[in-house]
Structure 1
Amino acid sequence: MPVDIAFLAIAEAQQLYHWLPAALELARRPDVRVSMLSPSDQLLALAGSYDPEGRLTRLRLRRPPSGPDSLFRQPSRLATLLLNHRTIARFPTVVTTEISSAWLRHMPGFSSRMIHIKHGAGDREGGYKKRHRDFDLTLVGGEKDQRRLIARGLGTVEDIRIGGYAKFELRAPRQRFFADDKPVLLYNPHFDPDLSSWIKHGPEILATLEALTDWNVIIAPHTKLARRVPPIVSSAPHIRIDMGSRHSIDMSYTNSADLYIGDVSSQVYEFLLTPRPCVFLNLERRHWQGIENFNHWRLGQVIERADGLPQALARANDLQAGFLAAQEAAMHQSIDLSPIPASRRQADLILHFAKGAA
């Protein structure tokens, strides 16, 4: 009998890149049947674009009435789970990248074993929630997340395993987004209302970026922030604004930029797959040294005024050598870059668990 494994896709498109490589790897293996469960035609189509051979069985779940369907807007996760929990329960092993699915544990008769692939590799405390402990197995990108989850009582070394960062296998190549050869900076603000540099300081940041005519600028906020704030608009010819597209989630921008500007987004670690200069905006002037939630701020300059950005950019290349060792060490702790592809490592862990649970 084949081993049945379901990948539950009820989150927005940015999470798909974290589970799809493992799903495709499992689907290539003999005696394994892999299904993608999603209420979204858009997400099913996006997964299909990476699966030309049609190895995945794509199952459209019921949608809540009037629920949105775009890459970055999906219906209520709880409502989707309520409508579909019996369908999901038919699969003995369910894999997901969001933690809302832990709610299924409260449904009578639900006995599927659940695996969580933690998406992202950032430092923010919001990445560690009590619902993590409701999963039977959690796969993380590197030692940092394993250590931090265990320290918070959210699992043990036996059920929190390091599988690497499979999104790198789907990353888009470096691209030209501008007609000239000026250096490119990426500004990537996070959605956390307490930590985002954009929410309280957007106008002054935009004015500063518009004045940087020696640079090309990509403004690509986290897609959750893009849904919560008015559209960012600029007529400056050296600025490209992306409020949500495949480019904003497939590493097109992190691979194509020469310098990263941000606050607390985990995308900094995707950018640092190739070490390059970073500048972090501490415009609230918060105390951050020695606080692990801001460990990534050790990997570049930290500035406390938006109008200090031109000076930071002017010295970024000269200072980069001084940050290189810290960047490489942080990447080593955050993402295990084994020569064995992460998709294969994750697939091995999932299949071993699924066979053991059968």
Structure 2
Amino acid sequence: MPTDIAFLAIAEAHQMYHWLPAALELARRPDVRVSVLSPSDHLLDLIGSYDPDARLARVRLRRPPSRRDSLFHQPSRLATLLLNHRRILRFPVIVTTEISSAWLRHVPGFASLMIHMKHGAGDREGGYKKRHADFDLTLVGGDKDKRRLIARGLGTTDNVRIGGYAKFELKAQRRRFFSDDKPVLLYNPHFDAALSSWVNHGPAVLAALESLEDWNVIIAPHAKLAQRVPPIVSNAPHIRVDMGSRHSIDMSYTVSADVYLGDVSSQVYEFLIEPRPCIFLNLDRRDASGEDFAHWRLGQIIEAADALPTALAQAAGLQPRFLALQEAAMRDSIDLSPIPASHRQADIILDFLKGAA
């Protein structure tokens, strides 16, 4: 009998890139059957675009009443689980990148094994929730997440395994988004209202970006922030705003920019796949000494939006002092083994299932 594994795709499209390489690799293995379950036709179509050989069985779940189907706005995860739990629990193994699915454990007769693939590699404390402990196996990108999950009692040395960062296997190619050769600044504000540089300081940040006539600027908020705030609008010819497209989630911008500007988004680690200058906005003048802001040690920190031009002018000259720090942080956050992450993740999952049999 083949091993039946279901990947539960009930989150927004940006999470897909973290699990899809492993799903495709598992589907190539003998005696493994992989299904992808989602309430979104658009998301299933995007998944299909990376699966030309149709190795994955795409299963359309019932969709609760909500706004139109979109890659960036999915219906309530709990509502989707309630509507579809009988269908989901037919699968003996469920893999997901979100933690709402831990609710399934409360369904009478629940017997599936649940595997969590932690998406992102950021430092924010909000990335560690009690529900992380409800999974039988957790795959993380590197030592940092393993260490922190165990320290918080959310996993053990046995059930938290390092599998690398498979999203890098699907990253877009570097490309030009502007017609001239000016350097490109990527501004990537996070969705956490308590920490986001955009939520409380948007007008000041936008004014500073519009003043940068010697730079091209890409404003690409985290997908969740883009759905929660009014559209960011600028008429400045050197500014490109993306409130949600494939480019905003497939690393098109992080591989194509010359400098990163942000706050607490884990995308800084996707940008640092190639070490480059980073600038962090501490506009609320927070104490940045804790783990939440560990990545702020990897570049300049500015406390006023109008300090941005000066920070950019000295970014290249200051980069050598941050290079070793960036490389060390990447080694701690993401295990960049020569073995593809998707292969390691597939091996970890199959070895775990053999042990659980």
**TM over 0.5, yes or no?**
yes
Q: How many residues align?
A: 357
What's the secondary structure of 1:98's corresponding residue?
coil
Cα deviation digits, residues 221-263 of structure 1 (max 9, x gap): 0011111111000010000000000000000000000000000
For residues 72-151 of structure 1, the aligned pairs below 5 Å read: 72-151=72-151
Query: TM-score, normalised to structure 1's length?
Result: 0.99
Partner of 2:2: 2
Partner of 1:198: 198
Partner of 1:242: 242
Deviation at 1:357, TM superposition (A): 2.7
Query: How many percent identity over aligned positions?
Result: 79
Counterpart of 1:152 in structure 2: which amino acid?
Answer: R
Q: Contact 1:12–1:72 (CA<8 Å) still a contact in 2?
A: yes
Partner of 1:342: 341
What's the secondary structure of 1:255's corresponding residue?
helix
Counterpart of 2:83 in structure 1: which amino acid?
Answer: L
What's the secondary structure of 1:45's corresponding residue?
helix
For residues 174-253 of structure 1, the aligned pairs below 5 Å read: 174-253=174-253
Bigger drift between 125-134 and 56-65 goes to 56-65
Distance in 2 between residues matched to 1:275 and 1:141, nearest whole Å: 18
What's the secondary structure of 1:43's corresponding residue?
helix
Distance in 2 between residues matched to 1:5 and 1:353, nearest whole Å: 13
Distance in 2 between residues matched to 1:222 and 1:212, nearest whole Å: 22
Q: Establish whether residue 324 from structure 1 lines up as the match of residue 334 from structure 2.
A: no
Q: Contact 1:68–1:75 (CA<8 Å) still a contact in 2?
A: no
Partner of 1:305: 304
Over the residues paired in the alignment, what is the CA RMSD in angstroms? 0.7
What's the secondary structure of 1:73's corresponding residue?
coil
Partner of 2:350: 351
Deviation at 1:65, TM superposition (A): 2.5
Deviation at 1:69, TM superposition (A): 1.5
Distance in 2 between residues matched to 1:256 and 1:22, nearest whole Å: 25
Partner of 2:21: 21
Distance in 1 between residues matched to 2:227 and 2:4, nearest whole Å: 35
Distance in 2 between residues matched to 1:265 and 1:17, nearest whole Å: 16
Deviation at 1:287, TM superposition (A): 1.1
Distance in 1 between residues matched to 2:330 and 2:283, nearest whole Å: 25
Distance in 2 between residues matched to 1:163 and 1:39, nearest whole Å: 27
For residues 21-40 of structure 1, the aligned pairs below 5 Å read: 21-40=21-40
Q: Establish whether residue 162 from structure 1 lines up as the match of residue 162 from structure 2.
A: yes
Counterpart of 2:336 in structure 1: which amino acid?
Answer: L
Counterpart of 2:206 in structure 1: which amino acid?
Answer: L
Q: Contact 1:120–1:266 (CA<8 Å) still a contact in 2?
A: yes
Partner of 1:274: 274
Deviation at 1:197, TM superposition (A): 0.2
Counterpart of 1:311 in structure 2: which amino acid?
Answer: T
Distance in 1 between residues matched to 2:288 and 2:39, nearest whole Å: 41
Distance in 2 between residues matched to 1:306 and 1:56, nearest whole Å: 47
What's the secondary structure of 1:176's corresponding residue?
coil
Cα deviation digits, residues 103-150 of structure 1 (max 9, x gap): 000000111000000000000000000000000000000000000000
Compared with structure 1, are the counterparts of its residues 354 and 65 closer, same or farther at alpha carbon in structure 2 (3 Å cutoff)? Answer: same
Distance in 2 between residues matched to 1:94 and 1:351, nearest whole Å: 13
Q: Establish whether residue 292 from structure 1 lines up as the match of residue 296 from structure 2.
A: no
Counterpart of 1:125 in structure 2: which amino acid?
Answer: E
Counterpart of 1:338 in structure 2: which amino acid?
Answer: S
What's the secondary structure of 1:139's corresponding residue?
strand
Distance in 2 between residues matched to 1:84 and 1:139, nearest whole Å: 25
Counterpart of 2:86 in structure 1: which amino acid?
Answer: R
Deviation at 1:67, TM superposition (A): 5.1
Distance in 2 between residues matched to 1:91 and 1:320, nearest whole Å: 49
Cα deviation digits, residues 22-78 of structure 1 (max 9, x gap): 000011111110000111101100100000000000011111123542000001100
Partner of 1:153: 153
Query: TM-score, normalised to structure 2's length?
Result: 0.99
Q: Contact 1:67–1:76 (CA<8 Å) still a contact in 2?
A: no
Deviation at 1:356, TM superposition (A): 2.9
What's the secondary structure of 2:319's corresponding residue?
helix
Distance in 2 between residues matched to 1:80 and 1:230, nearest whole Å: 26
Distance in 2 between residues matched to 1:114 and 1:68, nearest whole Å: 30
Residue segments in structure 2 that go unaligned for 5+ positions in a row: none
What's the secondary structure of 2:146's corresponding residue?
helix
Bigger drift between 62-71 and 189-198 goes to 62-71
Counterpart of 2:151 in structure 1: which amino acid?
Answer: A
What's the secondary structure of 2:294's corresponding residue?
helix
Counterpart of 2:186 in structure 1: which amino acid?
Answer: L
Residue segments in structure 1 that go unaligned for 5+ positions in a row: none
Distance in 2 between residues matched to 1:344 and 1:95, nearest whole Å: 16
For residues 43-58 of structure 1, the aligned pairs below 5 Å read: 43-58=43-58
What's the secondary structure of 1:302's corresponding residue?
strand
